Structure 1
Amino acid sequence: MIKRNMLIWAVCLCLFSNACIVQGASQVDFSLKEDEAAISFFPLFDGEATLVQDGTNRVILINTGSKRSRKELAYWLDFYHIKQINQVIITKQSEKYNGNVDWVTKQYQVEELIVPKGSKELQTQHTTMWKTKDMYQLSKHIHVSVLYHEEENFPSMDFIVAFGKHQMLYMSSPASTIEQHLLMKPVRKIDLIKLANFGEGEPLSEPFLKQLNPQIGVLFSKENRTIHPDLASRLTDGWIELYDTNKRESLSIKMSPTIYDVMKFKKTT
């Protein structure tokens, strides 16, 4: 259940995608049980930020968006009732991914900052570098396996987040790189894909999408982006729902070990 915090829900419209648009909430507290988790994608104007929570009170923020999106980031962290963040994971050494990392680290008493191997920025005594083939247990039920990391130019990494039977592919690299490295692993079904590079560049191939068989693709927004013309059609042909943060709604997926619910939240101010 979602705790009604000061305001009750004004309306919840169920869509054909089994997602609900929830309006009229000032804050959301998922009140997660120990074997539950929630992943939320923030609709920032410029850049990426993804919140991961679980029932053991672990809070993980993947990327922080650009500095131009700081007010939006602060709004959504407050909306989800976040007071402290255990870990911040930066998937790419670039302003649109790490623009607010210093502010977040101080404001939310971050215990550990995780960056791709090769990162020359963001070095503190609490910084950990991840590299290809590394596996980590972030909480009792959340595990991450690093598929690939790039050390040249803009260090980056791609990984799979696993919770129970659910898996999320979090992309930063071009589609061809991801396909090459995933083909070398016995990857079971992926439920959700966070698409790379804001939808720019060649999208994942149709055969590869069919192999992974995801239900949802998430696309973050940036200023003046140019989405590849084949992206939407490839996802549609694979019966994959595309969620674009440019629509100014946050997307939350609340999970038990075997099932999940999808919700969208509109900004109230």
Structure 2
Amino acid sequence: MRIFLILVVIFLQCTSIALAGKSFSGNVEKIDLNIRSHEMAISFFRLSDGEATLIQGPNNQNILVNVGGGQSKREMDRWLSLYDVKKVTMLILTGAHALHLEQVNHLVNRYHIKEIASSQQITKQIAENLDVGNQIVIKSWKEETKTELFPELSAVVQYVGSEKNEGLDFTLQFFKHHLFLMSSFSQHAKEKLLTKNLGEIKVFKVPANANEDLLSEKLVKHVDSQISILTAGGNHHPNPELISDLLKTWSEVYFTKTHGTVTIKFTKSHYEVFTILEDGSDYKNFGLRECFRII
């Protein structure tokens, strides 16, 4: 009964969002987010394997977080083409689950990536196994590392772990907007993150494959996000107990497998959310829908 009620709540929530927004009909060949000065966008891709997030700023600044799975090369190229990405400034890898060497090498060469950041363990593997040459700057991020990704957008590493269900967890700050991209859900990571002052989180990227027992209702309440993004491919489905915990905090929950790629565009004072769902398995036709706007 509890699972049924959770599913009903999710359905009603998604329906209300769709009715509140503006619908766009027809196929979409390119997405122009028209990112101007003092604006940024973040897109959580819908992939059949693995996960990847695109961060975009003005002047064609593109940062990629993870590279999808070993079977999603074609999908990644299609999504990046759809967002008119020709060059990626920086690649961030959040853990061993994201280290698909062949895919990393492909993206480095195709999109002229000049900088890779990850944990010390991952950057060592990249240096030893990737054919990236001396033109690539490889940086090891540690806990509390703070980096300016581009003007007005900074990243702060909140936790770095190398054990099972651990990786690189970091927050982004763009003016008053705080985003939390989390990949760890071990007991130690959970305890450590509960001690962190994360700020008022607007967007929470939930760790892939996390369940309620490992993530915990207490940590979900601590993050207390306005929007929660669940990204996972394959046959994985979100944990109902985890979704229940997120909904209790009044967070808008998106699952990329169901809702499609989720793009959130930020200005200094507000943000807009869009979902993009591909039509068919050939990834040629896309439908674009604006979900809602928050001032």
2:182 aligned partner: 171
1:186 aligned partner: 197
- Is 2:7 aligned against 1:16? no
Q: How does 1:29-44 map to 2 (within 5 A)?
A: 29-44=32-47
RMSD (Å) for aligned C-alpha atoms: 2.4
**Distance change >3 Å, CA 251–CA 267, structure 1 → 2:** same
Alpha-carbon displacement from aligned partner over 1:235-268 (angstroms, at most 9, x marks no partner): 1222112211112621100001221000111225
TM-score (norm 1): 0.86
- Is 2:210 aligned against 1:210? no
Distance 1:81 1:122 in 2: 27
Aligned residues: 256
Distance 1:240 1:19 in 2: 18
Residue identity opposite 2:62 in structure 1: V
Q: Is the 8 A contact 1:65 1:98 kept in 2?
A: no
Q: Is the 8 A contact 2:53 2:64 kept in 1?
A: yes
Superposed displacement of residue 209, structure 1: 2.8
Q: How does 1:1-269 map to 2 (within 5 A)?
A: 16-17=16-17, 22-23=24-25, 24-94=27-97, 100-119=103-122, 120-123=124-127, 124=132, 125=134, 126-152=137-163, 156-174=167-185, 176-200=187-211, 202=213, 204-225=215-236, 227-247=238-258, 249-268=260-279, 269=284
Q: Is the 8 A contact 2:55 2:63 kept in 1?
A: yes
Q: Is the 8 A contact 1:206 1:234 kept in 2?
A: yes
Instruction: Please state whether the residue corresponding to 1:246 is helix, strand or coil.
Output: helix
Q: Is the 8 A contact 1:19 1:261 kept in 2?
A: no
2:3 aligned partner: none
Instruction: Please state whether the residue corresponding to 1:137 is helix, strand or coil.
Output: strand
Distance 2:21 2:188 in 1: 31
Distance 2:210 2:21 in 1: 22
Distance 2:90 2:178 in 1: 19
Structure showing the higher helix proportion among its residues? 2
Residue identity opposite 2:193 in structure 1: L
Superposed displacement of residue 152, structure 1: 4.7
Q: Is the 8 A contact 1:249 1:265 kept in 2?
A: yes
Distance 1:49 1:197 in 2: 11
Residue identity opposite 2:125 in structure 1: E
Instruction: Please state whether the residue corresponding to 2:16 is helix, strand or coil.
Output: coil
Q: Is the 8 A contact 1:19 1:263 kept in 2?
A: no
Q: Is the 8 A contact 2:166 2:186 kept in 1?
A: no
Distance 1:154 1:207 in 2: 18
Residue identity opposite 2:225 in structure 1: P
Instruction: Please state whether the residue corresponding to 1:233 is helix, strand or coil.
Output: helix
Distance 2:188 2:32 in 1: 37
Structure 2 residues not aligned, in runs of 5+: 1-13, 285-295
Distance 1:212 1:139 in 2: 25
TM-score (norm 2): 0.79
Distance 2:72 2:22 in 1: 25
Instruction: Please state whether the residue corresponding to 2:209 is helix, strand or coil.
Output: helix
Superposed displacement of residue 97, structure 1: 6.3
Q: Is the 8 A contact 2:70 2:103 kept in 1?
A: yes
Which has the higher mean CA deviation after the structures are superposed, 103-112 or 220-229? 220-229
**Distance change >3 Å, CA 91–CA 112, structure 1 → 2:** same
